[in-house]
């Protein structure tokens, strides 16, 4: 479902060259709301110019899927384009349409919006803002997979204010909309809607040429289904602004992705489709679009301000830039499903594969959800509990994910607190295996298998102590005593195994390998949960060690190579001294500004070269 219509945004002026505020990101988020609405403007060596470049859907949405090269229908390119006519001349302000582009002056992003200031022939200033709202505590609003695009136009010189201006993609009256869907709709198909997708009302060249020639569209409808893979389909609006005065005029475009049933889930009952949570609040797609389009909630601005103010107060402007750029991305892999009485938050991995509800991905994103609304963590974990408590996973340890193909949350059937029994089963596995980890992968599976991993062992030991707290909270005091005794015994032994008494002491990557090291990021869990299991000297020791091994853009994940993970860097930052915190944050901010990965903010990069 598409609906496009404008709201006022103030204009700001900068010089001729594009500037970025608060920093130049690797990619600028445009429509970033869910796994199926994830559109970015790549910055890289192209300088982040929206005029003359096609917005791109997230790279590697499905690892190994039928990705096509940019510029061809059905591939990564999102054929989102915009044009404006001033004094009879047509200019492009979004997309690679050829012809004359407007001049982009400034790009600014907050936690929920990205704004572009553009100059049209030194006559008109445009402010184009892409808004992907985040409503962490308002499930009605958060359940809508929608993005707004505000376009504001005003004269650079008030003396020009009697000349006509027109632009494409506007609406008339209250809410005009295009509805786009497949002729034969598929359920829970883990793939792009490309070769089988259809739409109306016209092809790109025909629609765009009409606007260039006439400054308006034909206002006709094409009801024929056409295969997208053979030609670009265009869903366009045009709006004649006529003669306007000194006050800028604004228009709001809205894009909404509507689903009746969102995923296929194998939970406590038989596998079945789970409804999108939005269907509980809206009786039709049209009502949902109208609500979203007309919703003038100030919560978006409030959230922008909250994240900005809190971040600066904790660690300064550089940290504020990092959190601001990360907020939309953290929610972009999530989607609310179910009903108000039984909601779920489903997750899809991005840029790796199609895995869903991946535990270690949830693990790294927990801080942002604890900060904005801890209930979201519960909704992420519920599907994992349900699948395993129903006996649909054969192993005694916790499941890694719920499936290899997003939309099909079927689990891995081959492989009173209601969750206590399954938690007790998992902690039993940790009691047997955590202290001396076998040769295995860790969360950072790309680094390969390794035995006696220091950081992995620490995670398991902290988990045992956490289970003692859960036992206490659920009235199982015998279990509490047993688990806390084991955890304290293990942490003492872990210290003897893990610490390298070098000139600058530190923990090793693996027991007994004194030449190795790594980010001890699982230590963060001890501080986060308030367990105080790990002695304070370990925190001080690691904080003093990291600056001695820092490279240009950060600290490598471990001594095996120069790769790092920005999420784990931020975890160790949170538990380090102020000087070490500043080092990590400064280096990560510098990498973000200088990176040419052309990707949404990646968590994986080379600390020496900055490459992905």
What domains can you pick out in the chain, each with its CATH number?
A: 2-261 (2.70.98), 416-612 (1.50.10.10)
Side-chain half-sphere of 204: how many Cα atoms within 13 Å? 19
What is the rounded CA–CA span in Å between residue 153 and residue 349? Answer: 38
Element holding 420 (H helix, E strand): helix 420-433
Q: Is the pLDDT of residue 413 over 60?
A: no
**Pairing outcome for strands 82-86 and 89-94:** antiparallel
Looking at residues 522-533, what average pLDDT do you find? 98
Q: Got the DSSP string for 493-536? A: HHHHHHEE-SSS-EE-SBTT-TT--B--TTHHHHHHTT---S-H
48-64 residue pLDDT tens: 899 999 888 864 444 33
543-563 residue pLDDT tens: 999 999 999 999 999 999 999
Secondary structure class of 583 (helix, strand, coil): helix
Which of the residue ranges 148-157, 391-400, 461-470 would you say has the lowest mean pLDDT?
A: 148-157
196-242 residue pLDDT tens: 222 234 455 555 565 556 555 555 544 444 444 445 555 555 666 66
Whole-number pLDDT of residue 375: 97
What is the rounded CA–CA span in Å between residue 191 and residue 40? Answer: 20
Which of the residue ranges 264-273, 380-389, 494-503 would you say has the lowest mean pLDDT?
A: 264-273
The dihedrals phi and psi of 54, each to the nearest 5 degrees, come to -85, 130
pLDDT over 90 percentage in the chain: 56
Looking at residues 251-276, what average pLDDT do you find? 80
What is the rounded CA–CA span in Å between residue 482 and residue 489? Answer: 11
What rounded mean pLDDT belongs to the chain? Answer: 82
Whole-number pLDDT of residue 411: 46
Whole-number pLDDT of residue 485: 99
What is the rounded CA–CA span in Å between residue 102 and residue 105? Answer: 9
* Cβ(234)–Cβ(166) below 8 Å: no
Which of the residue ranges 192-206, 272-286, 397-411 would you say has the lowest mean pLDDT?
A: 192-206
Residues in the chain: 612
What is the rounded CA–CA span in Å between residue 393 and residue 380? Answer: 18
Q: Is the pLDDT of residue 8 over 70?
A: no
Secondary structure class of 389 (helix, strand, coil): helix
* Cβ(50)–Cβ(78) below 8 Å: no
Whole-number pLDDT of residue 3: 32
Q: Is the pLDDT of residue 569 over 70?
A: yes
The residue among 292, 297, 311 whose CA lies nearest residue 372 is 311
Looking at residues 4-12, what average pLDDT do you find? 28
* Cβ(105)–Cβ(119) below 8 Å: yes
Model confidence band, residue 510 (pLDDT cutoffs 50, 70, 90): very high
Q: Is the pLDDT of residue 498 over 60?
A: yes
Q: Is the pLDDT of residue 47 over 70?
A: yes
Looking at residues 256-263, what average pLDDT do you find? 84
Identify the residue with better confidence: 488 or 251.
Answer: 488
Q: Is the pLDDT of residue 329 over 60?
A: yes
Burial of 160 (0-12, 13-18, 19+ CB in 10 A): middle
Whole-prediction pTM: 0.85
Whole-number pLDDT of residue 194: 32
The dihedrals phi and psi of 41, each to the nearest 5 degrees, come to -105, 115
Whole-number pLDDT of residue 150: 87
Q: Is the pLDDT of residue 170 over 70?
A: no
Looking at residues 318-336, what average pLDDT do you find? 95
Whole-number pLDDT of residue 271: 60
Looking at residues 180-198, what average pLDDT do you find? 38
């Amino acid at each position: 479902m598409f609906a496009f219509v404008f709201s006022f945004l103030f204009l700001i002026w900068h010089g001729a060259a594009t500037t970025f505020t608060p920093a130049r990101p690797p990619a600028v988020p445009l429509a970033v709301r869910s796994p199926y609405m994830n559109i970015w403007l790549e910055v890289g060596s192209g300088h982040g110019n929206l005029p003359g470049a096609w917005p791109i859907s997230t790279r590697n949405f499905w690892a190994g899927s039928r990705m096509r090269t940019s510029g061809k229908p059905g591939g990564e390119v999102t054929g989102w384009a915009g044009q404006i006519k001033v004094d009879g001349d047509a200019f492009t302000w979004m997309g690679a349409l050829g012809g004359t582009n407007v001049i982009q002056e400034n790009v600014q992003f907050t936690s929920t919006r990205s704004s572009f200031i553009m100059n049209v022939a030194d006559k008109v200033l445009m402010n184009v803002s892409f808004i992907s709202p985040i409503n962490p505590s308002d499930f009605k609003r958060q359940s809508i997979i929608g993005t707004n695009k505000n376009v504001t136009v005003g004269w650079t010189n008030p003396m020009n204010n009697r000349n006509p201006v027109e632009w494409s993609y506007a609406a008339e009256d209250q809410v005009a909309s295009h509805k786009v869907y497949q002729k034969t709709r598929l359920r829970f198909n883990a793939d792009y809607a490309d070769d089988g997708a259809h739409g109306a009302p016209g092809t790109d060249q025909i629609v765009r040429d009409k606007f260039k020639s006439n400054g308006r569209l034909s206002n006709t409808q094409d009801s024929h289904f056409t295969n997208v893979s053979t030609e670009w389909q265009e869903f366009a609006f045009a709006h004649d602004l006529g003669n306007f005065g000194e006050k800028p005029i604004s228009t709001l475009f809205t894009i909404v992705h509507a689903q009746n049933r969102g995923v296929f889930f194998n939970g406590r009952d038989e596998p079945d489709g789970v409804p999108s949570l939005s269907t509980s609040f809206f009786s039709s797609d049209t009502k949902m679009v109208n609500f979203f389009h007309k919703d003038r909630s100030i919560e978006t601005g409030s959230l922008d301000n909250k994240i900005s103010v809190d971040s600066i107060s904790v660690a300064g402007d550089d940290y504020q830039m990092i959190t601001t750029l990360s907020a939309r991305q953290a929610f972009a892999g999530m989607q609310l499903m179910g009903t108000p009485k039984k909601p779920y938050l489903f997750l899809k991995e991005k840029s790796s594969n199609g895995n869903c509800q991946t535990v270690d991905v949830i693990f790294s994103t927990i801080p942002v959800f604890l900060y904005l609304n801890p209930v979201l963590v519960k909704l992420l974990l519920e599907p994992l509990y349900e699948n395993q408590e129903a006996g649909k996973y054969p192993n005694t340890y916790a499941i890694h994910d719920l499936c290899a193909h997003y939309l099909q949350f079927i689990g891995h059937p081959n492989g009173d607190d209601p969750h206590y029994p399954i938690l007790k089963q998992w902690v039993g596995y940790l009691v047997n295996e955590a202290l001396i980890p076998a040769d295995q992968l860790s969360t950072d599976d790309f680094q390969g298998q390794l035995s006696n991993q220091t950081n992995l062992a620490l995670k398991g030991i902290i988990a045992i102590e956490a289970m003692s707290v859960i036992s206490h909270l659920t009235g199982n005091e015998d279990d509490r005593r047993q688990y806390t005794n084991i955890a304290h015994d293990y942490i003492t032994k872990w210290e003897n195994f893990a610490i390298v008494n070098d000139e600058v002491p530190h923990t090793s990557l693996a027991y007994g390998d004194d030449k190795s090291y790594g980010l001890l990021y699982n230590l963060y869990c001890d501080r986060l949960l308030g367990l105080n299991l790990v002695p304070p000297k370990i925190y001080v020791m690691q904080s003093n060690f990291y600056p001695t091994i820092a490279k240009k853009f950060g600290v490598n994940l471990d001594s095996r190579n120069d790769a790092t993970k920005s999420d784990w860097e931020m975890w160790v930052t949170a538990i380090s001294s102020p000087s070490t915190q500043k080092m990590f944050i400064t280096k990560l901010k510098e990498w973000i500004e200088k990176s040419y990965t052309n990707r949404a903010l990646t968590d994986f990069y080379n600390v020496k070269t900055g490459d992905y």
